[in-house]
Amino acid sequence: MSEVRVYSTTQHQARACADRLVSIAQQAVSARGRFMIALAGGGTPRLTYQLLATEEYSGQIDWRDSYVFFGDERCVPPESRESNARMARETLLNFVPVPLNHIYRIHGELEPQQAADHYEMTLRDFFERRLGLGSPQFDVVLLGLGADGHTASLFPGTPALHAIGRWAAANEVSALKSWRITLTAEAINAAANVIFLVSGAEKAQTVKRVLEGPHQPELLPAQLIRPENGSLHWLLDAEAAALLTSTHS
Ligand code: 6PG
């Protein structure tokens, strides 16, 4: 299943995303006794995380039975302002009762390949050894979209786009003159739900190219994201959706 939803403001968009995450979490916990999420980094999800941390929402997810992973991380220490884990702590994780040993951050402070291998082992220990699954079946992976068409840290023309048999990869992003650690497309596509949360006029052209243009994932890595058995949800604000031709409710 794939859907595109457009919201008039980023506040409405954040609320819709929070409601979607609550619904997925409640279904997961009632069906399997646990909720497994991979959080997005960057700036767009902040509003959603802050909403989930409020009195109104925090009781709606069974955080004690939740397991929090990350879609990607910068190769920086956890206290760095650049760290996605720090952003998630400051907007959400410090305010909900998720046990600390249920948070699996990517160790960006390590050498890139070491950090990727550590995250790979963490994922395989959790999903293969503990759950007996053959793939990282997150209940939801939350993603952003860069104006260059990247998602997580799958950037155009970078080696991680072609990672085979890996769930996590170190990725040298020459455009940023830096390394990143990222879930691979193979890992993301194993999820039950993938939510792209995209806002702002600066993303409109890219949203149109990704959703309505030719399939060119080397240039637009977000097009690699096609959940094998899961659902794909695009939650856009009006500015990011402004150039789409087909109508989306
Ligand atoms: C990161 C994210 C990245 C982000 C996009 C959009 O580490 O920055 O994983 O993929 O989602 O770059 O970023 P904004 O939400 O800040 O526009």
Q: Note down pLDDT in tens along the chain; length 249 residues.
A: 899 999 999 999 999 999 999 999 999 999 999 999 999 999 999 999 999 999 999 999 999 999 999 999 999 999 999 999 999 999 999 999 999 999 999 999 999 999 999 999 999 999 999 999 999 999 999 999 999 999 999 999 999 999 999 999 999 999 999 999 999 999 999 999 999 999 999 999 999 999 999 999 999 999 999 999 999 999 999 999 999 997 654
Selection from 228, 120, 221, 110 nearest residue 165 by Cα? 120
Selection from 113, 163, 201, 137 nearest residue 154 by Cα? 163
Tokens linked to 92? 């959400």
* pTM for the full predicted model: 0.98
Q: Which atom of ligand 1 is nearest to the CA of 43?
A: 16
Q: Cα–Cα distance between 29 and 43 in angstroms, integer? A: 28
β-pairing, 178-183 vs 72-74, is antiparallel
State which of 145, 161, 207, 237 you would mutate to test the pocket of ligand 1, scoring each by most atoms of that ligand within 8 A of its C-beta.
145
Ligand 1 pocket, residue 36 CB under 6 Å:
no
H helix intervals, 92-184: 112-124
Ligand 1 pocket, residue 46 CB under 6 Å:
no
Torsion of CA 205, 206, 207, 211, to 10 degrees: 110
Residue 105 CB-density burial (10 A; 0-12 exposed, 13-18 middle, 19+ buried): buried
Report pLDDT for 1.
87
Ligand 1 pocket, residue 151 CB under 6 Å:
yes
Ligand 1 pocket, residue 201 CB under 6 Å:
no
* Helices vs strands, H then E, count in the chain: 7, 9
Residue 209 CB-density burial (10 A; 0-12 exposed, 13-18 middle, 19+ buried): middle
